[in-house]
Amino acid sequence: MSRLPQGGRIDRSRPLRFSFNGTSYSGYAGDTLASALLANDVRVVGRSVVYGRPRGIFTAGIEEPNALVQIGPEPMLRATQVELVDGLQAAGLNGKGRAVPEQDAARFDKTYVHCEVLVIGGGRAGLTAALEAGRSGDRVILVDEQAELGGRLLTAGWNDWLTSTITQLSSMPEVRLLTRATAFGLYDQKLALVAERRPNGQRLWQVRGRKIVIATGAHERPLVFANNDRPGIMLAGAVRTYINRYGVAPGQRAVIFTSNDSTKPLEADLQRAGISLEAIIDVRTGQAIVDTVAESGVALESVIVVPLTGNHNRREIQCNLLCVSGGFNPALHLFSQAQGRLRYDDGLACFVPEAPIDGVEVIGAASGDLNGRGQGTIVPSWVIPGDGEDWSTHFIDLERDATVADVQQALGTGMRSVEHVKRFTTIGTGSDQGKTAGINESAIIATQLGQPVGAVGVTTYRPPYVPIPFALLAGRNRRELFEPIRVTPLHTWHVAHGAVFENAGQWKRPRYYPREDEDTDAAVARECRAARENVAAVDVSTLGKIDIQGPDALEFLNRIYTNAFDTLKERSCRYALMCGADGMVFDDGVVMHLGPDHWLATTTTGGAAAVLDWMEEWLQTEWPDLRVHLTSVTDQWAAIAVVGPRSRNVVHSLFPNLSVGPDSFPFLAIRENEIRDMPVRLHRITFSGELAYELWTPSWYGLSLWEAVMVAGEPLGITPYGLGAMEILRAEKGYIIIGQDTDGTVTPQDLGIDWMISKRKPFIGQRSHRRVDTTRTDRKHLVGLLPLDGDALLAEGSQLVLQSDRTSRYSVGHVTSSYRSPTLGRTFALALLQSGRERIGSTIYAPLDGQVVAASVVEPIFYDKENARRDS
């Protein structure tokens, strides 16, 4: 055991059991997995990713490149960051973690907060800043990645100051202290993302601060020499942390290898811990370690020391702990993410902020104030030659197993940019994002090229600062909570009657209602036949509905839609089309004239929100003089279409006092009536081509109305139908679905519905209909297709070509809708086809999956061209 008899911030009254690679060990509350492993003399934690070299614990913090472990479903955790808990089971990695198929039981949450000051980092600088801000009464949030506040002070014996400061901060009502909380991203407009580790998961904090204070400290960097990766080689500051904070001696015989003054206090720490200090190798005195030895092939056993100049007398020093310090890198990842620029400081031998950025302050060691670290005079020794010309064990990036030899190879190919070298060597692309490697990489490139380090620069820091589970970013927005689910007032009936549902945007809509033993095609065919031959009903409540009121409503509609509404009488409606300013079809629906200055427009189910935004845009930006009010009433109305040659019988039995004859209630008329106290508005509109009535009622009556329709229709055998049948019925009539048969490049003329375009008034998009492009004769037109083999089903999306063999080089269109029609007894399709109307009567080919389906081009209407059924 290497646990010291006393000292440290661990709680020796609370021993904890844990296992590593299947072996049981014990530690204490307050340990990290790393400190507990060192206390149990576990020196090798894993193997490196490329060369399989044994690796140990290299740091005591978030920058750890070596000691990666798997704990349950978490594949790559840093042993230096894992708090020890009783029963912990961890396994070292051979380079990579393992994805676990089981569901992660951890819970991930999100929270959003605002504050005047967000302080990132709870060391001396951060705590001081938080205290100052807190005294002004500002809302302050201080986040720190560790379990305890204090940062470096936890190692340096500042206990009284820490206790007093934290007590003061805790007493301030507007100050919130978050531990185990890593700020991993700093985005535009001072939005910080913070991952807080919690006992059973993590919480994502999205913090908007008026001011951000970056007090993230500095990371010690290693020296680069031959075989600098063996277990037992550790950053000097980490050795101090293990001794002082965790009461652990990470070795028995130590050598210090340094380029600066920060290792001075370590000498006393080693002595107090009973670790013999065999030698101090300081590059500033002209000595260096040129190699390390591990006879057993595993952990460090000795180091080879030579003078840097003069005679090359080798000296071998036995040791099992090598404490290395190559200086410090201010942790400026977040500053860089916020577009802060860096400058290389020759005196400090590190990158520091070049200029402040608005609202983001960098303080303490992060700002380049390395006095607290005691760096003092530094002679940077970026790369220390070995005995020979071999640079393949001079590790720069321990996690990626990338060496000086790799950098030399990159430069040898002609690469010069640090970004290119990064991608070639993979330095800095590991899960540690090269926290101990990046600056060394830049400096070694500079050394090799004979350039100043500042000219080489550093690679761009990108979020996240630490690995973040995707599950944290998703939070609770998974599965049924991924997106809102919208259901109609009739939904419970659909569920009770076995509907198979389909997603239409956020809506759940019945696709069909299978009876026993029926497959999809059989059920859909039965529902189609019911609508064509008898009577059927469909829930169309998902249609977007916009209530339009005001003295200028008519003028507004005339401008928005291609149709003119001047002649549309009250209690009537009209199929209506709207275009974008570019003249392309944008949405369609039915415009209903309900009363004086009162209209209602339906939209496609998917287009409801966009159409309302569009109308508001024109109303508010271009036509603020129009007195019109728009209100979304999509959810306020339930809508039921009663469809089929016998629909009139059902409607008559529901509304016995309503005159439903073809002359008294003709196509496109609106009537109001009621069933008991249930108000119902009836519309003679159809999306099937059959005689049909659309029945609307306030949504809370919706289910009652549907049940009344079912009861009234039962003697006739009324059939509920879903989207499957609805799509076939409409396609047989050539009625388009916006977004399926159109795609934003289609004009009304392309669709052959010029009759919907008024020539008597201006409307949005009108000017575009006489642009050179929209008047081309070879535009794609909507056409019908009948496969020559009436059993062959064209795939929707199939490209169309002019020749049946493989000589066609260009697609001349594509299939937009394709179905088996029970009514026609064959397959049919709609398509957008270049010069399509001129090709009617010809044959076109759809090659797909090694087969070619031939089809006749026909007019895009397959059933009741005279509209006799619709108007009956």
Partner 1 sequence: MEPPRWHTNVLIPCPWCGDREEVEFRYGGPVPAGYPPDPQTVDDRAWARYLYYRPNPKGALEERWVHTAGCRRWFRLTRDTVTHEITPASDASA
Residue whose CB is less far from partner 1, 99 or 772: 772
Residue 212: count other Cβ atoms within 10 Å of its Cβ.
25
The distance of closest approach from Cβ of residue 786 to partner 1 in the complex, given in angstroms and rounded to an integer, is: 38
The distance of closest approach from Cβ of residue 614 to partner 1 in the complex, given in angstroms and rounded to an integer, is: 10
The distance of closest approach from Cβ of residue 454 to partner 1 in the complex, given in angstroms and rounded to an integer, is: 24
The distance of closest approach from Cβ of residue 393 to partner 1 in the complex, given in angstroms and rounded to an integer, is: 45
Question: Are the C-beta atoms of 649 and 693 separated by less than 8 Å?
Answer: no
Residues in the chain: 872
- Nearest-angstrom CA–CA distance, 872 and 866: 11
The distance of closest approach from Cβ of residue 138 to partner 1 in the complex, given in angstroms and rounded to an integer, is: 5
Residue whose CB is less far from partner 1, 631 or 867: 631
Residue whose CB is less far from partner 1, 134 or 689: 134
- Nearest-angstrom CA–CA distance, 667 and 664: 10
- Determine the distance from the C-alpha atom of residue 664 to the mean position of all C-alpha atoms in its chain, rounded to a whole number: 57
What DSSP string runs through 268-330?
A: HHHHHTT-EEEEEEEGGGTEEEEEEE-TTSSS--EEEEEESSS----EEEE-SEEEEE--EEE
Please give the helix or strand (H or E) that residue 526 lies within, else none: helix 520-533
- Nearest-angstrom CA–CA distance, 512 and 523: 7
The distance of closest approach from Cβ of residue 633 to partner 1 in the complex, given in angstroms and rounded to an integer, is: 14
What DSSP string runs through 530-571?
A: HHHHS-EEEE-TTSEEEEEESTTHHHHHHHHBSS--TT--TT
Residue whose CB is less far from partner 1, 55 or 139: 139
Residue whose CB is less far from partner 1, 635 or 859: 635
What 3-state class would DSSP assign to 619?
A: helix
Residue whose CB is less far from partner 1, 10 or 615: 615
Sign of CA dihedral 29, 33, 35, 36: positive
E strands, 738-812, in order: 780-787, 799-800
The distance of closest approach from Cβ of residue 175 to partner 1 in the complex, given in angstroms and rounded to an integer, is: 12
- Nearest-angstrom CA–CA distance, 109 and 93: 28
- Determine the distance from the C-alpha atom of residue 276 to the mean position of all C-alpha atoms in its chain, rounded to a whole number: 52
Residue 1: count other Cβ atoms within 10 Å of its Cβ.
10
Residue whose CB is less far from partner 1, 207 or 418: 207
DSSP annotation of 515 reads P
The distance of closest approach from Cβ of residue 629 to partner 1 in the complex, given in angstroms and rounded to an integer, is: 11
Residue 86: count other Cβ atoms within 10 Å of its Cβ.
12
Return the C-alpha torsion angle 617, 621, 624, 626, nearest 10. Answer: -40
- Helix 159-170 vs helix 124-135: angle between axes, to the nearest 10 degrees? 30
Question: Taking the chain, what is the end-to-end CA distance rounded to the nearest angstrom?
Answer: 95
The distance of closest approach from Cβ of residue 263 to partner 1 in the complex, given in angstroms and rounded to an integer, is: 42
Q: Residues in the site for partner 1, rule: CB under 8 A? A: 112, 114, 116, 137-139, 174, 188-191, 208, 210, 339, 358, 581-582, 609, 612-613, 616-617, 620-622, 624, 762, 766-768, 771-772
The distance of closest approach from Cβ of residue 668 to partner 1 in the complex, given in angstroms and rounded to an integer, is: 30
The distance of closest approach from Cβ of residue 208 to partner 1 in the complex, given in angstroms and rounded to an integer, is: 6
- Nearest-angstrom CA–CA distance, 136 and 116: 11
- Nearest-angstrom CA–CA distance, 246 and 799: 69
Residue whose CB is less far from partner 1, 138 or 267: 138
Q: What angle do CA 515, 519, 524 make, to 5 degrees?
A: 75
Token pair, residue 251, equals 């070795």
Question: Are the C-beta atoms of 251 and 278 separated by less than 8 Å?
Answer: no
Residue whose CB is less far from partner 1, 295 or 613: 613
- Determine the distance from the C-alpha atom of residue 243 to the mean position of all C-alpha atoms in its chain, rounded to a whole number: 42
Phi, psi of 762 (to 5 degrees): -80, 150
Token pair, residue 754, equals 């010029």
What is the Cβ-side half-sphere exposure of residue 69, based on CA atoms within 13 angstroms?
27
- Determine the distance from the C-alpha atom of residue 409 to the mean position of all C-alpha atoms in its chain, rounded to a whole number: 37
Residue whose CB is less far from partner 1, 341 or 771: 771
The distance of closest approach from Cβ of residue 407 to partner 1 in the complex, given in angstroms and rounded to an integer, is: 34
Residue whose CB is less far from partner 1, 140 or 726: 140
- Determine the distance from the C-alpha atom of residue 349 to the mean position of all C-alpha atoms in its chain, rounded to a whole number: 38
The distance of closest approach from Cβ of residue 339 to partner 1 in the complex, given in angstroms and rounded to an integer, is: 8
Residue whose CB is less far from partner 1, 112 or 482: 112
The distance of closest approach from Cβ of residue 215 to partner 1 in the complex, given in angstroms and rounded to an integer, is: 20
Residue whose CB is less far from partner 1, 234 or 579: 579
Question: Are the C-beta atoms of 398 and 436 separated by less than 8 Å?
Answer: yes
Residue whose CB is less far from partner 1, 172 or 453: 172
Token pair, residue 597, equals 């200055």
- Nearest-angstrom CA–CA distance, 548 and 557: 9
Rg (C-alpha) for the chain, rounded Å, is 38
Residue whose CB is less far from partner 1, 185 or 713: 185
The distance of closest approach from Cβ of residue 857 to partner 1 in the complex, given in angstroms and rounded to an integer, is: 32
Residue whose CB is less far from partner 1, 291 or 361: 361
Residue whose CB is less far from partner 1, 114 or 312: 114
275: left (phi over 0), alpha (psi -120 to 50) or beta: beta
The distance of closest approach from Cβ of residue 112 to partner 1 in the complex, given in angstroms and rounded to an integer, is: 8
The distance of closest approach from Cβ of residue 116 to partner 1 in the complex, given in angstroms and rounded to an integer, is: 6
> What is the residue whose two structure tokens read 């026609």?
824
The distance of closest approach from Cβ of residue 617 to partner 1 in the complex, given in angstroms and rounded to an integer, is: 6
Closest CA to 443 of 484, 499, 384: 384
Residue whose CB is less far from partner 1, 113 or 308: 113
Q: What angle do CA 751, 757, 763 make, to 5 degrees?
A: 120
